Amino acid sequence: MPEDAASTIEQYRGRLEKAASYGEVWDIVKDSVKFSIHKRRTGMMLFLDDLPVQLGAYHPIGTNNIVLNRVLVQIVEASIESKHVVNALIYNLLTHEYLHALGEYSENDVRAMVYQIAKKCFGEDYIATTVAKKSPWVLLQRIPLEAINASKRVMEIVKDFEKTSKYIV
């Protein structure tokens, strides 16, 4: 592996391991997508909602919104003690929906793109790439999801998700 590629991988891994908020993971998503496929979109908003556990996140076409499954993230946080593994899940879900927001609509194509982006930025042998390759559900394979019955709460917007100096209408 060339030295500059190893340095890039080390930087992305370090950032994901240190990320302490949705906004910090989001910055990694945007940077890795720009670095890998040279596309970018600003003005995105993140909402947390209690969705069916089988749905990780979604992007309503024609909006600047991504809706992330709050219950799913909380289940992973409660069952996996490693913050960077939780960040890897969030990274994968947000990258997938961000690619939809960039106009990629085929689920199969987007899954393959998330894997290629993760592999380029994090290397093959890293949790974010493993989650992209096998699917986010690999983190939940030992958890009896059918037994989870979470009550529906109000959808919330994530403050300071995307830092911008411009007013977005």
- For residue 166, being part of any structural domain is answered with no
pLDDT higher than 50, residue 138: yes
- For residue 81, being part of any structural domain is answered with yes
- For residue 167, being part of any structural domain is answered with no
pLDDT of residue 134: 94
Residue 57 DSSP SS3: strand
Q: Is the pTM of this model over 0.85?
A: yes
The single residue listed with the structure tokens 């970018």 is 40
Determine contact, residues 94/25, Cβ cutoff 8 Å.
yes
Query: Which whole number is the average pLDDT over 152-167?
Result: 80
Instruction: Identify the domain containing residue 67 by its residue range.
Output: 3-157
Closest listed residue to residue 91, CA positions, set 121, 65, 62: 121
Token output for 94: 């947000």
**Per-residue model confidence as pLDDT tens digits over 89-121:** 999 999 999 999 999 999 999 999 999 999 999
- For residue 127, being part of any structural domain is answered with yes
Count of domains for the chain: 1
- For residue 164, being part of any structural domain is answered with no
Residue 157 DSSP SS3: strand
% of residues, the chain, pLDDT over 70? 90
- For residue 78, being part of any structural domain is answered with yes
Token output for 73: 């993230």
Predicted confidence band at 146 (pLDDT cuts at 50, 70, 90)? low
